[in-house]
Amino acid sequence: MFSIDYIQNTHIYVECVCVYVQYVPNFTAMGGKNSKPEVKPPSLLLDKEWRPVPWNAKAEYLQSVRCFEPFQPHNDERNEDQHIRILLHGPVGHGKSSFINTVNSVLRDRMTGRALAVASGTSFTKKYTTYKITKGARGTFYPFVFNDTMGLEKDHGVREEDIKLAMMGHVKDGYRFNPHSTLSTDDPYYNTNPSLSDKAHVLVCVVSANKVHLLDDGVKKKMTNVMREAGDMGIPQMVILTKIDEACPEVDADLRNVYKSKFVKEQMELLSESLGIPLNCIFPVKNYHSEITPNDDLEMLILMALRQMINYGEDFVDNL
């Protein structure tokens, strides 16, 4: 039999050994005899922004958008409601409707949710709808509008032909997209004589940053076909890269890391190559999602993209 003193001393000795074993890695990390250099994980960020952002110029950008005046067409006098029409397209669930809501929230200085959006694999947008944004007094609107489309899918979703018709101004508000048939010329929602304002002046493809590498080849083919049609019509194009915070933890921690993030830059370059669109036409943004109060950095990225859309649309109309 062991004495009580022996058992107690043995217990103390075992505890001391455990403490020593736990301490050894710390000793080794400090440069012990058998220590190895500590390997740091590669940084997710570049040393500096590869695209400068005037983060403190939100008021200036907001003012330029608010002061934008509608174009004056030369041969389209019958339509008094002149505006820049921005047509959105892209895969299901990548943030088209959320982008419209976010722009609306930025310009109205409060959270809004006019374009219904859901986080699912099925397109919520079923009808062709023009979204106007209220400006100042009730009944007045900004001189640019957004049109959302049903999401692109490999075997379902909006048909390429319907997007082409929308670009040409042949689709009336309220038209219900049909994945199995294209809008016909005898349909009451077919606009036989579109005005300049009915036509699309900017085509914007919306893609989620965390799903670029998951895009189906069939969906990418539809996207490139639509963009090729727009190119043939001379319509300027942009890509909005959404959900950058979900794609990169460093951007989630601080939106100002967006143009330092290696991952975000890689996704932009991948889109540029696969869709054949210049890198300077791709704008990463974060849409309002869970926020209930304004975020200046988020809104700065949105305003940069919005101002470019307006500029492109105005240039397109001027060149007609």
Q: 154 pLDDT band (50/70/90 cuts)?
A: confident
Q: Is the confidence at residue 212, as pLDDT, over 90? A: yes
Has residue 242 been placed in a domain?
A: yes
User: Can you give the residue range of the structural domain that contains 89?
Assistant: 57-319
Has residue 28 been placed in a domain?
A: no
pLDDT at 36: 63
**pTM of this structure:** 0.83
Has residue 25 been placed in a domain?
A: no
Residue 109 neighbours by CB under 8 Å, 6+ apart: 294
Crossing angle (nearest 10°) for helices 262-275 and 217-233: 70
Has residue 237 been placed in a domain?
A: yes
Has residue 250 been placed in a domain?
A: yes
CATH number reported for the structural domain that contains residue 277 in this entry? 3.40.50.300
Q: Is the confidence at residue 225, as pLDDT, over 90? A: yes
Q: Is the confidence at residue 35, as pLDDT, over 70? A: no
- The total of structural domains in the chain comes to 1
List pLDDT tens digits, range 254-308.
Answer: 999 999 999 999 999 999 999 999 999 999 999 998 888 999 999 999 999 999 9
Has residue 40 been placed in a domain?
A: no
List pLDDT tens digits, range 9-20.
Answer: 444 434 433 433
Has residue 141 been placed in a domain?
A: yes
Q: Is the confidence at residue 76, as pLDDT, over 70? A: no
Mean pLDDT over 159-171 rounds to 96
pLDDT at 43: 86
Has residue 45 been placed in a domain?
A: no
Distance, in Å, from the CA atom of 29 to the CA atom of 44, rounded to the nearest integer, reads 24
Mean pLDDT over 178-201 rounds to 95
